[in-house]
Chains A and B, each alone.
Chain A
Amino acid sequence: MSAANLAVDVLLIVGVALELACVVGVLIMPTTLDRLHYVGAATTVPAFCILAAVLCREHLSSGGIEAIAAIALIFFLFPVLLTATARAIERVEESED
Protein backbone atom coordinates (compact mmCIF):
# COMPACT_ATOMS: atom_id res chain seq x y z
CA MET A 1 0.00 0.00 0.00
CA SER A 2 1.47 3.35 -1.02
CA ALA A 3 1.66 6.35 1.29
CA ALA A 4 -1.04 8.16 -0.71
CA ASN A 5 -3.46 5.24 -0.39
CA LEU A 6 -2.76 5.02 3.34
CA ALA A 7 -3.37 8.77 3.72
CA VAL A 8 -6.66 8.49 1.80
CA ASP A 9 -7.84 5.63 4.00
CA VAL A 10 -6.90 7.41 7.23
CA LEU A 11 -8.49 10.70 6.15
CA LEU A 12 -11.72 8.99 5.10
CA ILE A 13 -11.92 7.01 8.35
CA VAL A 14 -11.33 10.16 10.42
CA GLY A 15 -13.83 12.16 8.34
CA VAL A 16 -16.58 9.54 8.59
CA ALA A 17 -15.93 8.98 12.32
CA LEU A 18 -16.22 12.71 13.03
CA GLU A 19 -19.42 12.93 10.96
CA LEU A 20 -20.70 10.00 13.06
CA ALA A 21 -19.85 11.96 16.23
CA CYS A 22 -21.84 14.93 14.90
CA VAL A 23 -24.85 12.72 14.13
CA VAL A 24 -24.66 11.20 17.63
CA GLY A 25 -24.49 14.73 19.05
CA VAL A 26 -27.65 15.73 17.16
CA LEU A 27 -29.36 12.59 18.48
CA ILE A 28 -28.48 12.79 22.16
CA MET A 29 -28.07 16.47 23.06
CA PRO A 30 -30.88 17.79 25.28
CA THR A 31 -31.67 21.19 23.70
CA THR A 32 -32.04 22.30 20.09
CA LEU A 33 -29.27 24.90 20.36
CA ASP A 34 -26.90 22.19 21.66
CA ARG A 35 -27.76 20.08 18.61
CA LEU A 36 -27.07 23.04 16.34
CA HIS A 37 -23.47 23.16 17.61
CA TYR A 38 -22.90 19.69 16.20
CA VAL A 39 -24.24 20.75 12.80
CA GLY A 40 -21.67 23.57 12.82
CA ALA A 41 -18.92 21.14 13.77
CA ALA A 42 -19.78 18.92 10.78
CA THR A 43 -18.91 21.74 8.37
CA THR A 44 -15.33 22.07 9.62
CA VAL A 45 -12.88 19.24 10.36
CA PRO A 46 -14.82 16.22 8.96
CA ALA A 47 -15.59 18.01 5.69
CA PHE A 48 -11.96 19.07 5.32
CA CYS A 49 -10.76 15.51 6.01
CA ILE A 50 -12.92 14.23 3.14
CA LEU A 51 -11.73 17.09 0.92
CA ALA A 52 -8.09 16.23 1.75
CA ALA A 53 -8.74 12.58 0.84
CA VAL A 54 -10.19 13.63 -2.54
CA LEU A 55 -7.26 15.99 -3.16
CA CYS A 56 -4.78 13.18 -2.46
CA ARG A 57 -6.19 11.48 -5.59
CA GLU A 58 -7.27 14.39 -7.77
CA HIS A 59 -4.66 17.02 -6.87
CA LEU A 60 -5.59 20.32 -8.57
CA SER A 61 -7.43 18.90 -11.56
CA SER A 62 -10.92 20.11 -12.44
CA GLY A 63 -12.40 17.53 -10.06
CA GLY A 64 -10.13 18.68 -7.25
CA ILE A 65 -11.03 22.32 -7.77
CA GLU A 66 -14.76 21.49 -7.81
CA ALA A 67 -14.30 19.51 -4.59
CA ILE A 68 -12.59 22.56 -3.03
CA ALA A 69 -15.52 24.72 -4.23
CA ALA A 70 -18.11 22.38 -2.69
CA ILE A 71 -16.44 22.26 0.73
CA ALA A 72 -15.69 26.00 0.64
CA LEU A 73 -19.39 26.69 -0.04
CA ILE A 74 -20.34 24.56 2.96
CA PHE A 75 -17.70 26.21 5.15
CA PHE A 76 -18.67 29.78 4.26
CA LEU A 77 -22.46 29.48 3.71
CA PHE A 78 -23.48 27.24 6.60
CA PRO A 79 -22.58 29.74 9.36
CA VAL A 80 -25.18 32.08 7.79
CA LEU A 81 -27.71 29.26 7.82
CA LEU A 82 -26.85 28.31 11.40
CA THR A 83 -27.34 31.90 12.56
CA ALA A 84 -30.76 32.03 10.87
CA THR A 85 -31.66 28.69 12.43
CA ALA A 86 -30.57 29.84 15.90
CA ARG A 87 -32.85 32.89 15.55
CA ALA A 88 -35.73 30.64 14.48
CA ILE A 89 -35.09 28.37 17.47
CA GLU A 90 -35.18 31.40 19.77
CA ARG A 91 -38.53 32.55 18.30
CA VAL A 92 -40.03 29.05 18.51
CA GLU A 93 -38.97 28.60 22.13
CA GLU A 94 -40.26 32.07 23.07
CA SER A 95 -43.65 31.22 21.58
CA GLU A 96 -43.73 27.89 23.46
CA ASP A 97 -43.01 29.51 26.86
Chain B
Amino acid sequence: MNAFIWAATALAILQLPLLAVACVRRPIDGLVALELSGILLTATLLCLAEGFHRSFEYTLPIMAAVLGTISGLVFARFLGRWT
Protein backbone atom coordinates (compact mmCIF):
# COMPACT_ATOMS: atom_id res chain seq x y z
CA MET B 1 0.00 0.00 0.00
CA ASN B 2 1.33 3.40 -0.94
CA ALA B 3 0.60 6.81 0.60
CA PHE B 4 -2.34 7.49 -1.71
CA ILE B 5 -4.11 4.26 -0.72
CA TRP B 6 -3.61 5.12 2.98
CA ALA B 7 -5.01 8.61 2.37
CA ALA B 8 -8.00 7.18 0.47
CA THR B 9 -8.66 4.76 3.34
CA ALA B 10 -8.54 7.58 5.89
CA LEU B 11 -10.85 9.75 3.78
CA ALA B 12 -13.31 6.85 3.39
CA ILE B 13 -13.33 6.27 7.16
CA LEU B 14 -14.07 9.98 7.68
CA GLN B 15 -17.42 9.42 5.95
CA LEU B 16 -18.69 7.24 8.81
CA PRO B 17 -19.34 10.09 11.30
CA LEU B 18 -21.08 12.00 8.50
CA LEU B 19 -23.34 9.00 7.92
CA ALA B 20 -24.18 9.07 11.63
CA VAL B 21 -25.01 12.79 11.39
CA ALA B 22 -27.29 12.15 8.40
CA CYS B 23 -29.09 9.36 10.28
CA VAL B 24 -29.49 11.02 13.68
CA ARG B 25 -29.97 14.77 13.17
CA ARG B 26 -32.52 16.86 11.25
CA PRO B 27 -32.79 16.41 7.46
CA ILE B 28 -31.17 19.81 6.79
CA ASP B 29 -28.16 18.80 8.94
CA GLY B 30 -28.06 15.57 6.98
CA LEU B 31 -27.87 17.61 3.77
CA VAL B 32 -24.84 19.49 5.11
CA ALA B 33 -23.21 16.15 5.99
CA LEU B 34 -24.06 14.82 2.52
CA GLU B 35 -22.35 17.78 0.86
CA LEU B 36 -19.16 17.26 2.88
CA SER B 37 -19.40 13.57 2.07
CA GLY B 38 -19.42 14.43 -1.65
CA ILE B 39 -16.20 16.41 -1.27
CA LEU B 40 -14.59 13.55 0.65
CA LEU B 41 -15.73 11.07 -2.01
CA THR B 42 -14.14 13.14 -4.76
CA ALA B 43 -10.85 13.31 -2.85
CA THR B 44 -11.04 9.57 -2.08
CA LEU B 45 -11.55 8.65 -5.75
CA LEU B 46 -8.68 10.94 -6.74
CA CYS B 47 -6.35 9.23 -4.26
CA LEU B 48 -7.49 5.76 -5.38
CA ALA B 49 -6.92 6.60 -9.06
CA GLU B 50 -3.37 7.74 -8.28
CA GLY B 51 -2.74 4.93 -5.81
CA PHE B 52 -3.68 2.19 -8.28
CA HIS B 53 -2.03 3.98 -11.26
CA ARG B 54 -5.10 3.61 -13.45
CA SER B 55 -5.49 6.65 -15.65
CA PHE B 56 -9.08 5.87 -16.68
CA GLU B 57 -10.19 6.15 -13.02
CA TYR B 58 -9.50 9.90 -13.06
CA THR B 59 -12.89 10.34 -14.73
CA LEU B 60 -14.66 9.18 -11.55
CA PRO B 61 -13.72 12.17 -9.34
CA ILE B 62 -14.96 14.53 -12.07
CA MET B 63 -18.29 12.71 -12.18
CA ALA B 64 -18.47 12.67 -8.38
CA ALA B 65 -17.87 16.44 -8.23
CA VAL B 66 -20.58 17.20 -10.80
CA LEU B 67 -23.16 14.73 -9.46
CA GLY B 68 -22.46 15.73 -5.84
CA THR B 69 -23.20 19.35 -6.70
CA ILE B 70 -26.36 18.56 -8.67
CA SER B 71 -27.75 16.20 -6.03
CA GLY B 72 -27.03 18.76 -3.30
CA LEU B 73 -28.87 21.46 -5.28
CA VAL B 74 -31.90 19.19 -5.74
CA PHE B 75 -32.01 18.27 -2.05
CA ALA B 76 -31.57 21.91 -0.97
CA ARG B 77 -34.37 23.00 -3.29
CA PHE B 78 -36.87 20.42 -2.08
CA LEU B 79 -35.91 20.53 1.62
CA GLY B 80 -36.40 24.30 1.60
CA ARG B 81 -39.78 23.93 -0.12
CA TRP B 82 -41.28 21.00 1.78
CA THR B 83 -40.41 22.01 5.37
Contacts and interface: CB of A to CB of B under 8 A. Distances in A.
Do A and B associate with each other? yes
B32 A87 contact: no
Interface residues of A, number: 51
A70 B73 contact: no
B interface bracket (residues with beta carbon within 8 Å of A): 35 or more
Nearest to B72: A81
A73 B43 contact: no
Contacts of A43: 39
B58 A66 contact: yes
Interface of B: 3-4, 6-7, 10-11, 14, 17-18, 21, 26, 28-29, 31-33, 35-36, 39-40, 42-43, 46-47, 49-50, 55, 58-59, 61-62, 64-66, 69, 72-73, 76-77, 79-81, 83
